[in-house]
Amino acid sequence: MSGKPRHFSQRIKRMKTLKIVLTGGCLLFCVSLGLAEEIDGELVKRGRYISIIAGCNDCHTSGYLLSNGNVPEKDWLTGDILGWRGPWGTTYPANLRLYMNSLSEDQWLQVARTFTPRPPMPWSNVRAMTDDDLSALYHFIRYLGPAGEPAPTFVPPDQEPPPPYATFPPPPPPMPKNP
Ligand code: HEC
């Protein structure tokens, strides 16, 4: 007879403990979510800024340069079908949305420090960035998410690329020497 209330109060106690554990867990979870969002928000903001001022959009966002940047952000950095033709062949700005989606942040930092893509990709500018800037750029592009199609494949110098492409003029002839 006396076992019943004791059993009952034990259950209540257990439920209270469970409640405390759950509330604590939820609190921790929410606080960490909040922090993560705050950090990501800052990184994304900085990455957006870098992609604008470092000129990544100029080539990697179709139509960006000629519209003075008037392209909706959801279409940014999806690469371009406009080829760049020169003595190196014809190159196409990569789809960075797909590119970053296939790399971890560490892999990106590694790539950015070692890659030497063909012209006119200004890779030395990317290499001059700090780890923090590279990381911000990565988080911004991952935040935009994968979208678009892969850019056309490189066309070797001895082959005719399909239009559209921009041609780099041949280098100027050497200056005449003074007599
Ligand atoms: C003047 C045009 C131009 C600008 C500006 C530019 N890129 Fe590129 N980018 C290219 C072209 C063209 C390619 C393809 C090169 C090739 O096929 O070798 C490329 C390729 C890349 C690749 C792929 C490299 C690989 O190994 O496949 C990455 C990553 C990249 N660019 C990042 C950037 C970032 C980040 C910025 C801004 C700091 C930027 N690009 C600015 C033209 C540009």
Q: Each residue of 57-85: pLDDT tens digit?
A: 999 999 999 999 999 999 999 999 999 99
Q: Which residue, among 178, 75, 88, 96, has the nearest Cα to 142 in the 3D structure? A: 96
Residue at 1 is within a domain: no
Residue at 2 is within a domain: no
Q: Would you say the pTM of this structure is higher than 0.85? A: no
Please give the backbone phi and psi of residue 148, each rounded to the nearest 5 degrees, phi first: 80, -170
Residue at 179 is within a domain: no
pLDDT value of residue 2? 45
- Sign of the dihedral defined by the CA atoms of residues 130, 132, 136, 138, in that order: positive
Q: Residues with Cβ within 6 A of ligand 1?
A: 54-56, 58-60, 84, 91-94, 96, 99, 115, 117-118, 120-122, 125-126, 137, 154
What's the domain range around 17? 7-169
Residue at 158 is within a domain: yes
Q: Of the residues 56, 121, 168, which should be mutated to test ligand 1's pocket, given the most ligand atoms within 8 Å of the CB?
A: 121
Beta strands in the chain (DSSP E): 83-86, 89-91, 165-167
Taking CA atoms only, the protein residue closest to ligand 1 atom 22 is 94
Residue at 125 is within a domain: yes
Residue at 75 is within a domain: yes
Residue at 174 is within a domain: no
Integer Cα distance of 93 and 84 in angstroms: 9
pLDDT exceeds cutoff 70 at 166: yes
Q: How many domains does the chain have?
A: 1
Q: Of the residues 48, 60, 118, which should be mutated to test ligand 1's pocket, given the most ligand atoms within 8 Å of the CB?
A: 60
Q: Which residues pair with 147 in a beta bridge?
A: none
